[in-house]
């Protein structure tokens, strides 16, 4: 009977039903982190204008909200030459269809023309890197955290943890979810935006997550409490979780004025 039903069901309806079934089974969100590298103020302004006036409004027309746009806090060691765009998706199907929507949306093509039609010798950026992620079971949906204080003072801390092998990487993911590391962050008030497994990127195997603070002093205070907590000491000394990470990249960011949060 099932085979007969499939044979007589219109193809488009069948595809929609299958997609709906897949989406219903998959409760976790997917995330794209796009990183623009720019070399001067001209490129930075061109990318900023495109993101604010064309890209983010188009994403909203497509049904995507809570898009974060961030830049690096200046310090003596990190060159602030990057713009980070964090985009949440409900499914891989939604992610895959976005590019086609951008190419056909008339307002996007008009409002983004200075960026989209830039001359080859006046490129708006040096490169774009893209990372695709799947949310943790411990936090299957992102939270667009809105904290108090001037945007330039806020700290959105983006971390990438790399592991020696695929097996040790899964062990680190387990440490966050079943081991209670996510719960520890929550209990201390780290205001996480997301936790996710990287499923496509240039630093695999790795996971990424973002926590938020009103300023750098608050950030330092909470991390001090994290490292001195009994829960963290127990996790760190647990033989089951030994040697599951060999590199940590830490980006201290602030939200642009046009970021959704």
State pLDDT tens for residues 81-135.
999 999 999 999 999 999 999 999 999 999 999 999 999 999 999 999 999 999 9
Contact (CB, 8 A) for 226 and 34: no
For range 225-249, the mean pLDDT = 97
Q: Tokens 């929609």 sit at which residue?
A: 16
For range 180-196, the mean pLDDT = 98
Whether the per-residue pLDDT at 10 is higher than 70: the answer is: no
- Retrieve residue 150's tokens: 């001037």
How many C-beta neighbours within 10 Å does residue 10 have?
8
Report phi then psi at 33, rounded to 5.
-110, 110
Q: Does a cis peptide bond (omega within 30 degrees of 0) precede residue 151?
A: no
What gap in Å lies between CA 219 and CA 246, rounded to an integer?
Answer: 23
DSSP state of 75: -
pLDDT of residue 26: 56
Whether the per-residue pLDDT at 167 is higher than 70: the answer is: yes
Work out the pLDDT band at 75, boundaries 50, 70, 90: confident
Whether the per-residue pLDDT at 13 is higher than 60: the answer is: no
Report phi then psi at 245, rounded to 5.
-150, 135
Whether the per-residue pLDDT at 22 is higher than 90: the answer is: no
For range 207-215, the mean pLDDT = 97
State pLDDT tens for residues 45-63.
999 999 999 999 999 999 9
**What's the start-to-end Cα distance of the chain, in Å?**
51
Mean model confidence pLDDT for the chain? 92
Domains and CATH numbers, the chain: 26-255 (3.30.70.100)
pLDDT of residue 11: 59
């Amino acid at each position: 009977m099932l085979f007969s039903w499939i044979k007589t069901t219109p193809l488009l309806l069948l595809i929609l039903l299958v997609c709906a079934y897949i989406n219903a089974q998959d409760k976790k969100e997917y995330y794209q982190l796009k990183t623009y590298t720019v070399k001067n103020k001209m490129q930075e302004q061109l990318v900023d204008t495109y993101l604010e006036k064309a890209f983010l409004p188009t994403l909203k027309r497509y049904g995507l909200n809570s898009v974060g746009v961030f830049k690096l806090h200046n310090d003596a060691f990190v060159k602030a030459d990057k713009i980070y765009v964090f985009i949440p998706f409900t499914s891989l199907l939604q992610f895959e269809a976005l590019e086609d929507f951008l190419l056909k949306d008339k307002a996007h093509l008009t409002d983004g023309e200075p960026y989209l039609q830039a001359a080859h010798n006046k490129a708006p950026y040096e490169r774009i890197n893209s990372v695709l992620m799947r949310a943790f079971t411990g936090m299957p949906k992102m939270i667009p955290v809105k904290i108090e204080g001037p945007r330039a003072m806020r700290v959105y801390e983006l971390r990438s943890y790399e592991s020696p092998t695929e097996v040790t990487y899964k062990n680190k993911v387990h440490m966050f979810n079943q081991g209670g590391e996510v719960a520890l962050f929550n209990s201390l008030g780290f205001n996480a935006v997301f936790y996710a497994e990287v499923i496509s990127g240039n630093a695999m195997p790795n996971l990424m997550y973002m926590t938020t603070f009103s300023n750098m002093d608050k950030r330092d205070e909470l991390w001090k409490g994290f490292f001195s907590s009994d829960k963290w000491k127990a996790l760190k000394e647990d033989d089951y979780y030994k040697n599951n990470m060999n590199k940590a990249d830490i980006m201290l960011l602030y939200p642009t004025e046009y970021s959704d949060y």
